[in-house]
Amino acid sequence: MDKLQITGKAILTGSISVSGSKNAALPIMIASLLSENGLYLKNLPALQDILTMKKLLENFGIKIKKINSQTFFDSTNINNSLADYDLVRKMRASILLLGPLIARFKKAKISLPGGCAIGTRPIDIHLNGLEKLGVKFSIENGFVSADVKKNLTGAHIKLSFPSVGATENIMMAASKAKGETIIENAAREPEIEDLAKCLNKMGAKIAGAGTTKIIIEGVKKLSKSEHTIMSDRIVAGTYVIAAVMLNSEFIIKKIKPDLLSTPLEVLQNMGAKLEIGNDSIKVLPSSGIKGIALKTKPYPGFPTDLQAQIMALMSVAKGNSQIKEMIFENRFMHVSELNRLGARIKTKKDVAYIEGGRSLKGAKVMASDLRASVSLVLAGLYAEGKTTINRLYHLDRGYEKIEETLGKCGPIITRLK
Ligand code: UD1
C-alpha cells in the first residue's frame, strides 16, 4: 500500500491551477445514463474516484472514449445489470445511480454504497424523495431494489435536510418524470448547479438550482450534449489554507473565489492576507494567524469538506479555536492523528477544542478519510522533520497526485510503494 513521505518546514512558491471538481464530476458522469445517445465531458480530474465511477458506468454498458480534451460517455446501448459490489462499496456517490436508472428502466437494484467512513450516512432522504415520484423500494441483503409501476410522476418534495446527494438524485429522476417536480429545502451547493446546467444542455428543464427551491419540468428524452466540469472549490480551499499555514506567497488559479466566500472570510478574520481576483486567489505572508470559532454548515456556510484542513491551521494559530461539526457525525477521525504530530485537540460530541500555538513534529500517521488525509499533509508540511502518511488511497480519491502537484511548488513529498 502506498505511503507519502513529507519533509517538513516547507514553503510554497509560485502558483497552482486547480483541476475539475470531483463532487461535480461524479453526478454528472452518472447523468450520462439519462442521455439516449451520450455525453461529452471536459475537465474531468485525474482521480481514483473518477476511475472507479468510469468502471461502474461501464458495468451498465456505457462506452467511454477519450477524444482530445473530451471524454465521451456513449450511452446508446445501456443495460440495467447489477452494479459490481466492490465498486459500489468504494464510493458513496454510487447511490446517485438510482434516480437515472429508474428514469431509464423503471427499475434498479444496487448494493448499499460505501465511501468515506464518516458517520452512518443513511440514504433515507434519497429514498423518501424518489418515493414521492412514485418509486417503491425494498431493502434486502444489503441491496436497494426500486421499481416504478407506470411512469415517474412529478411531485412536491420537501427535504428534511438539504442533502447534496438526495437533491441531485431527485433532480435527475424528476428531469424525466411526467409533469412538474418542486424540491424544497434543496441543497444549494455549486456542484448541484453544475449538474443542473449539464442536464439542461441535455434537454432537461430545471430552474432554481443553487437556491433552496428547484423546479423541474419533466421531459420525455434527454440527448447528446457537452459540458465542462467546474473547478474544485474544496481543492482550491485546501491549497489556500496550506499557503496560509506555511506563511507563503502563493497563487491559486483557475477557480471561482465567490464559491469560497465563507472560508475566505474565516481565513481573513484569522489574519490571513489574501488578494482575491476574478479567477485566482493570492496568499501573502501575514504577521500572525489567530484562532477562531466556527461551525460547518451546508453551502454557503463553512464546508465540512474543509473542516479537517482548517483544524490543522488552527493548531498552529495563536490562541485557541473551536469547531462544531454540523453536517456529519464522527468526522473527527483526523484529531488523533493530528495530535500524534503534536497538536492538542480534544473533542466532545460534535465540538472540537483546538489549542493553538503548537509546534508540530513529524511522525508516522494514518489517513482515515479523504479530507482527514489532506489535513495530515498540511500538518506534515508545517512540522519539523519527516512525516509518513499511511493508507494513501484515501488521498488519491480526491487530490490529483499531490506529491507532484505540490512538489512543483517547493515541498519535498515522496510516494513510497
Ligand atoms: C456530498 C459530498 C461530500 C460532502 C457532503 C456535504 C459528493 C460526492 N460528496 O456528500 O464531499 O462532504 O456532500 O457537503 O458530492 N443524510 C441523511 N440521509 C440521507 C442523505 C444524507 O441523513 O438520505 C445526512 C448524511 O448522513 C450527512 C448529511 O445528511 O450527515 C449530509 O449528507 P449529504 O449532503 O447527502 O452528503 P453527500 O451527498 O453524501
pLDDT of the chain along its 417 residues, tens only? 889 999 999 999 999 999 999 999 999 999 999 999 999 999 999 999 999 999 999 999 999 999 999 999 999 999 988 877 888 887 888 999 999 999 999 999 988 875 444 445 689 999 999 999 999 999 888 888 999 988 999 999 999 999 999 999 999 999 999 999 999 999 999 999 999 999 999 999 999 999 999 999 999 999 999 999 999 999 999 999 999 999 999 999 999 999 999 999 999 999 999 999 999 999 999 999 999 999 999 999 999 999 999 999 999 999 999 999 999 988 999 999 999 999 999 999 999 999 999 999 999 999 988 999 999 999 999 999 999 999 888 899 899 999 999 999 999 999 998
Q: How far is CA 56 from CA 95, 220, 226, in A?
A: 12, 25, 21
Atom of ligand 1 nearest to the CA of 127: 23
CA distance linking residue 57 with residue 268, whole number of Å:
42
Q: What is the pLDDT of residue 274?
A: 98
C-alpha closest to that of 367 among 337, 399, 411: 337
Q: How far is the CA of 244 from the centre of ligand 1 (A)?
A: 28
Residue 120 CA, closest ligand 1 atom number? 26
Entry pTM: 0.96
Beta-strand ranges (E) seen in 258-366 are 273-276, 280-284, 293-295, 321-324, 344-348, 351-355, 364-366
**Which among 306, 223, 202, 218 has a CA at the least distance from the CA of 262?**
306
**Spatial CB neighbours of 136, under 8 Å, sequence gap ≥ 6:** 146, 147, 148, 149
**CA-closest candidate to residue 236, choices 246, 251, 224, 214:** 251
CA distance 98 to 114: 15
What residues act catalytically? 116
Q: Which residues pair with 161 in a beta bridge?
A: none
Q: What are the cell numbers at 234?
A: 474544496
Please give the pLDDT value at position 15. 98
Per the structure block, which three cell numbers stand in for 213? 427551491
How are beta strands 180-184 and 213-217 bridged, if at all? antiparallel
Coil, strand or helix at 157: strand
Protein residue whose Cα sits closest to atom 24 of ligand 1: 121
Of all protein residues, the one whose alpha carbon is nearest to atom 35 of ligand 1 is 163
Q: How far is the CA of 371 from the centre of ligand 1 (A)?
A: 14
Q: Which of 48, 98, 121 to mutate to test the pocket of ligand 1 (most atoms within 8 A of CB)?
A: 121
Index of the ligand 1 atom closest to the CA of residue 119 = 26
Q: What is the CA(161)–ligand 1 centre distance, in A?
A: 10
CA 98 – CA 144 distance, rounded (Å): 9
- pLDDT given at position 44: 97
Supply the pLDDT for residue 364.
Answer: 96
